[in-house]
């Protein structure tokens, strides 16, 4: 057929290029996944910051460190939001998971404000709230 004969000189180099480039495209996808920490790693890090924070949340001479742990926890909760775990396996559960992390982040912002205000009682109370949100999140989704 005249059409396929006309296409042949173009098609062959195209197929060759596709064959050569596909492994690179697949590798790039794998690399992107490797660069993104998984939920377990994010939560493990959160656990370390949370334990460190527990020891100093009421110590007025360590506010800078408490603020840093709080900031790291906020960042980690936001990073966890798009990483829906297996147990959030329906659209409604996925929204509930996202909401629980949003509420936890909100309380971490309240904790930051209490620390900045030097309001130790409020900081302790908010820290307890965050602990309860963590337990509720784990009961439901871990
Ligand atoms: C300050 C708040 C939180 C802290 C400190 C925290 C800490 C942790 C820790 C230490 C683990 C175990 C990680 C490991 O296996 O080594 C974990 C796992 C997990 N957490 Fe949290 N968490 C918090 C909040 C939440 C919330 C609000 C949710 C859900 C809305 C949640 C969902 C999960 C899930 C699904 C896992 C299992 C991850 C996996 O193994 O794939 N966490 N978390």
Go through 62-97 and write b for each residue having 16 or more CB atoms within 10 A of its CB, e for each that does not: bbeebeebbebbbbbbebbbebbbeebeeeeeeeeb
Each domain of the chain, given as residue ranges in start order, spans 1-35, 39-141
Residue from 55, 88, 142 whose mutation best tests the ligand 1 pocket (most atoms within 8 A of CB): 142
Q: What is the pTM of this model?
A: 0.82
Cβ < 6 Å from ligand 1: which residues? 39-40, 43-44, 46-47, 50, 73, 85, 97, 100-101, 104, 130, 133-134, 137-138, 141-142
Give pairs for 121-129: CB < 8 Å, separation 24+: 123/57, 123/58, 123/66, 124/57, 124/58, 127/53, 127/54, 127/57
DSSP 8-state symbol, 89: -
Distance 59 CA to ligand 1 centre (A): 26
* Per-residue pLDDT tens listing for the chain (142 residues): 444 555 556 565 555 555 655 554 545 545 445 556 899 999 999 999 999 999 999 999 999 999 999 999 999 999 999 999 999 999 999 999 999 999 999 999 999 999 999 999 999 999 999 999 999 999 999 9
Distance 62 CA to ligand 1 centre (A): 26
Distance 142 CA to ligand 1 centre (A): 7
* Domain 39-141 in this protein, CATH class: mainly alpha
């Amino acid at each position: 057929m005249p059409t396929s004969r006309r296409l042949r000189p173009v098609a062959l180099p195209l197929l060759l290029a596709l064959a050569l480039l596909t492994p690179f495209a697949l590798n790039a996808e794998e690399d992107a996944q490797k660069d993104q920490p998984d939920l377990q790693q994010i939560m493990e890090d959160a656990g370390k910051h949370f334990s460190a924070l527990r020891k100093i949340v009421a110590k007025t001479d360590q506010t800078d460190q408490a603020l840093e742990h709080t900031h790291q926890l906020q960042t980690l909760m936001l990073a966890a939001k798009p990483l829906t775990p297996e147990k959030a396996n329906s659209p409604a559960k996925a929204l509930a998971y996202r909401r629980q992390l949003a509420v936890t982040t909100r309380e971490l912002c309240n904790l930051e404000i209490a620390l900045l205000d030097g309001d130790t009682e409020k900081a302790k109370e908010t820290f307890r709230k965050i602990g309860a949100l963590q337990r509720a999140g784990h009961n439901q989704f871990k």
